[in-house]
């Protein structure tokens, strides 16, 4: 497979993170997901708490406008700037799997890049979010809808792409066919690649 950077973009609750983690183990390469928050904090000079709270926040929010009008670089922009630096540093280190973080867009000009998109039907995602994250979807009935909107808005705000547009990916998988099946398929593609 040579030196391969594998990016996994995903719908919330589709199991993209688990797929990425299992894939990295199978391939024996680094896996980057939550640790990116720590690196973004270090790079941007913001606290991890602030980075986490703004990482996929609604970029059209009130405070964003206020900051921009004042000529201060808004927090989401500072975080996105840090993303560019951090993801390129990680990709330079060698083969890895990166989940989310607009990594498919930021690293798009690299030759050794694989780009996958993971999605799933709403019912599958609801069940998974309740099981894996323990979120009570009876209390937050719009959680998935809101998360979808946030990811879509964030992605289109900072990239020239549309979130989930198949054109940007090597393949897109419905994880309802089975998390391990998707891992098998991506492993096959990357090893053959």
Nearer to a second copy, 65 or 178 (CB): 178
Is residue 105 a contact residue for a second copy (CB under 8 A)? no
Provide CB contacts within 8 A for 11, sequence distance 6+. Answer: 118, 119, 120, 125, 148, 151, 164
Is residue 181 a contact residue for a second copy (CB under 8 A)? yes
Closest approach of a second copy to the CB of residue 121, in Å: 8
Is residue 70 a contact residue for a second copy (CB under 8 A)? no
Single residue of 31, 119, 154, 155 touching a second copy by CB under 8 A = 119
Nearer to a second copy, 70 or 192 (CB): 192
**Tokens at residue 65, please?**
């406008």
| Choices 32-40, 82-90, 124-132, 179-187; region in contact with a second copy by CB under 8 A | 179-187
Is residue 174 a contact residue for a second copy (CB under 8 A)? yes
What does the H/E/C string look like for the chain? CCCCEEEEEECCCCCHHHHHHHHHHHHCCEEECCHHHHHHHHHHCCCHHHHHHHCCCCCCCHHHHHHHHHCCCCHHHHHHHHHHHHHHHHHHHCCEEEECCCHHHHCCCCCCEEEEEEECCHHHHHHHHHHHCCCCCCCCCCHHHHHHHHHHHHHHHHCCCCCCCHHHCCEEEEHHHCHHHHHHHHHHHHHHC
Is residue 189 a contact residue for a second copy (CB under 8 A)? yes
Nearer to a second copy, 90 or 99 (CB): 99
Yes or no: say if 162 and 156 are a contact pair by the CB < 8 Å rule.
yes
Is residue 173 a contact residue for a second copy (CB under 8 A)? yes
Single residue of 21, 30, 77, 170 touching a second copy by CB under 8 A = 170
Closest approach of a second copy to the CB of residue 9, in Å: 11
Is residue 140 a contact residue for a second copy (CB under 8 A)? no
Q: Give me the residues that bind a second copy (CB under 8 A), please.
A: 117, 119, 121, 164, 166-167, 169-174, 177, 181, 184-185, 188-189, 192-193
């Amino acid at each position: 497979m040579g030196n391969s950077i594998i990016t996994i973009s995903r719908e919330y609750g589709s199991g993209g993170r688990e797929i990425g983690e299992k894939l990295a183990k199978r391939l024996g390469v680094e896996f980057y997901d939550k640790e990116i928050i720590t690196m973004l904090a270090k790079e941007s000079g913001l606290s991890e708490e602030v980075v986490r709270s703004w990482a996929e926040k609604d970029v059209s929010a009130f405070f964003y406008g206020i900051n921009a009008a004042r000529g201060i670089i808004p927090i989401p922009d500072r975080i996105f700037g840090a993303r560019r630096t951090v993801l390129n540093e990680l990709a330079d280190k060698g083969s890895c799997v990166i989940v989310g973080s607009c990594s498919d867009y930021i690293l798009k000009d690299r030759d050794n890049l694989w780009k996958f998109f993971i999605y799933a039907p709403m019912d599958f995602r609801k069940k998974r979010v309740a099981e894996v994250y323990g979120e009570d979807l009876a209390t937050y009935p719009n959680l998935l809808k809101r998360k979808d909107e946030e990811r879509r808005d964030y992605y289109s705000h900072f990239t020239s792409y549309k979130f989930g547009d198949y054109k940007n990916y090597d393949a897109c998988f419905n994880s309802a066919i089975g998390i391990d099946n998707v891992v098998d398929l991506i492993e096959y593609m990357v090893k053959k690649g």
